[in-house]
């Protein structure tokens, strides 16, 4: 990673922040982007304290012009792009029959279109550097999760897009990786949208029993170095992906029962 230039969306907290520090300590020049300027500056201060060359660009990945600005400012500052880490994302928790469709549109705009926009404008530079496009996805991109129809749809779409791009650029040296953490201690559940679009405000899960963002960042860094195709990070996740291919009916029942155990589950 020495002197490689990495762009990380959703870089102000959670997995994005952890990846910024991990890649930076590995020698990369780091560009972080998020909507919250204050939190972005705080991560920037951490990078500066660690001696990492960085650039912080405030922006919303669901806005195409912001993604164009992110790429242009990166190239203006560092002259190249080696890794486009599409990490920005938002979740939801509501039954489809109850959810406002604007919630699903918002998830698609951020999780799917944010990946498309950033990858589109970074691609010429990544082809030149034979770099990496990474999408931080989820087991929800392999197996539909009840109560998270919009989230699953956005992750299936992201994975389909990146898979097609991988094949399309098969002979151009581009590395495409789909990274699927397990449940991770980040604020994605706290900021998840409810049926009416309001933030959930608290996690329905025991955060202490989850992977840390730092563990996820380490695995993403190693996967990038080794130019892996897919990165499913937990035993439970690997089992779910395997079963969904070979025993889909059983997997539906297991996933339903697992999600039913959440605090305040709508399936009780």
CB 178, CB 224: distance < 8 Å: no
Tokens 């959810």 label which residue? Answer: 99
Helix (H, G, I), strand (E, B) or coil at 158: helix
Q: Is 151 a catalytic residue?
A: yes
**Contacts of 194-203 spanning 24+ positions with Cβ under 8 A:** 194/92, 194/93, 194/94, 195/94, 195/95, 195/98, 195/99, 195/100, 195/103, 196/100, 196/103, 197/100, 197/102, 197/103, 197/106, 200/93
Catalytic residue among 54, 117, 142, 151: 151
Taking the C-alpha atoms of residue 87 and residue 80, their distance in angstroms, rounded to an integer, is: 20
The catalytic residue positions are 151
């Amino acid at each position: 990673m020495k002197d490689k230039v990495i762009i990380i969306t959703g870089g102000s907290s959670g997995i994005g922040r952890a990846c910024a520090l991990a890649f930076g300590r590995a020698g990369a020049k780091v560009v972080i982007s998020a909507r919250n300027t204050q939190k972005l500056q705080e991560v920037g201060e951490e990078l500066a304290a660690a001696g990492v060359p960085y650039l912080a660009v405030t922006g919303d990945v669901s806005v195409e012009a912001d993604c164009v600005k992110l790429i242009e400012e990166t190239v203006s500052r560092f002259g190249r792009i080696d890794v486009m880490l599409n990490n920005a994302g938002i979740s939801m928790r509501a039954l489809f029959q109850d959810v406002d469709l604007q919630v699903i549109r918002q998830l698609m705009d951020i999780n799917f279109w944010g990946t498309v926009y950033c990858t589109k404008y970074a691609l010429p530079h990544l082809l030149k550097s034979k770099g990496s496009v990474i999408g931080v996805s989820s087991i929800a991109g392999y197996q539909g999760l009840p109560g998270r129809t919009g989230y699953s749809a956005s992750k299936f779409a992201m994975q389909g897009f990146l898979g097609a791009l991988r094949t399309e650029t098969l002979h151009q040296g581009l590395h495409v990786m789909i990274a699927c953490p397990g449940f991770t201690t980040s604020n994605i559940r706290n900021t998840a949208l409810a049926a009416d679009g309001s933030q959930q405000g608290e996690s329905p899960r025991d955060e202490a029993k989850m992977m840390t963002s730092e563990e996820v960042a380490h695995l993403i860094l190693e996967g990038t170095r080794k130019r892996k195709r897919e990165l499913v990070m937990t035993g439970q996740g690997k089992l779910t992906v395997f079963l969904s291919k070979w025993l889909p009916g059983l997997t539906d029942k297991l996933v339903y029962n697992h999600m039913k155990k959440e605090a305040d589950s709508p399936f009780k």
